[in-house]
Amino acid sequence: MALRVRKRYLHRPALDPHGPFWQGYRWSEWYAFPSFLAEPIARDDTAPLGGAGIYRFAVPRRRGLLYIGQASRLRRRLSGHARAVTDILGPHTRRHLGFHYELAAYVHGEGKVQVSWTPLDSLGKPDRLGIECDLIAAHRGTVGCNPNWQFLPMGSGGDVADFGAD
């Protein structure tokens, strides 16, 4: 069964997966990944990276998201994704998520990947996982599909070209 896509979601900020108030959460600005980890601006008090929260990856000017995740320590999780990208292109000493292979290929190719997050320090892991599922469902409802790299298996990849431009 094909999903029905709401074509006018961009006119409703709470429905825009790239928006600063998507689904009622206050999201950080978008930062270039992985270089933002070294920038002082990423430590902005309006969206601290030190605690728990939800994060999202996207490519500028693309309709959908690439990936939505949750973490008990946002900075640590995003640093781990950055290390995986480096390892895949270097010594390749570990097995990685399919998401990491796609992220590495895109970060070091022509694409620009961005990351944004919303801190949720007061919530435990079960609640964050529930919100992550809700956000994936909201993405499906507005864009018409899962985030492109959301459910890739270990050691394989999808195709970034599979998701549409505006």
pLDDT at position 106: 81
Give the DSSP letter of residue 14. G
Buried b vs exposed e over 80-104: b needs ≥16 C-beta within 10 Å?
ebbebbeebeeeeeeebbbbbbbbb
Q: Domain count of the chain?
A: 1
53 within a domain of the structure (yes/no): yes
pLDDT digits (tens, 9 = 90+) for 40-63: 554 555 567 789 999 999 998 888
Give the DSSP letter of residue 82. H
pLDDT digits (tens, 9 = 90+) for 143-161: 999 999 898 876 544 444 4
151 within a domain of the structure (yes/no): no
72 within a domain of the structure (yes/no): yes
Whether pLDDT at 39 is above 60: yes
Q: Residue 62 sits in a domain of what CATH number?
A: 3.40.1440
40 within a domain of the structure (yes/no): yes
78 within a domain of the structure (yes/no): yes
Residue-range definition of the domain harbouring residue 55: 14-84+112-143
pLDDT digits (tens, 9 = 90+) for 73-115: 998 999 888 888 877 777 666 666 777 888 888 887 767 899 9
pLDDT at position 27: 93
pLDDT at position 132: 97
Q: Which of 52, 65, 51 is nearest to 114 (CA)?
A: 65
The CA-atom distances, in angstroms, between 55 and each of 5, 95, 108 are: 23, 22, 21
